[in-house]
Structure 1
């Protein structure tokens, strides 16, 4: 979607919506607030200013791999990966507070939960 086009939702109306289908995921519309890599897996915390929403985008997750994104005062959003190199995105959560306060977590099948926020790269 061109950056001049209006997104399909903004703020609270984006809650639980898909960032791509709502027109919030265009290259000129998104800021990557943080990136986490482990091997070939990559997870990004993304903020779409025109949509006033945050979400996580991941690639190369193992089948069944989960990613959660949370922002204070909003419901947590989750994806469960089907595996493979494709990008997958959590549903969006409204950025009703500073989007840099969002947290992305990778709950493992076993072991410690790994989380990161804006400004943390790993």
Structure 2
């Protein structure tokens, strides 16, 4: 685990080191979205949601511009509509493929961790 180490001076004049992880998601006990000290699913799925939203907006605006260009209602350059359609479709498909891949990687991650957190468990025997 990579972490940064920062020297901190106390009031006594002693220097201590405080370390913070570079990726706080890797220090969590369970990377999924079920219980525990884990960030919300919104943080995990924020980037794919933004990509899907941008793709949808570009695709809709490309459709509108293409219709305006083909019907010659507005003074729209000929290639602007298809260009927005293409870029919007690429963003939309990328975002839609990203979500299942993220779900799959979150499901497989606990399986690859070896005895994570099992050393702290204590079994109680009843007499």
TM-score range, shorter chain: under 0.3
TM-score scaled by structure 2?
0.19
Task: Give the strand-richer structure, 1 or 2.
Answer: 1
- Structure showing greater radius of gyration is 2
Task: Give the helix-richer structure, 1 or 2.
Answer: 2
Q: Work out which structure has the larger RCO, using CA pairs closer than 8 Å and 6 or more positions apart in sequence.
A: 1
TM-score scaled by structure 1?
0.19
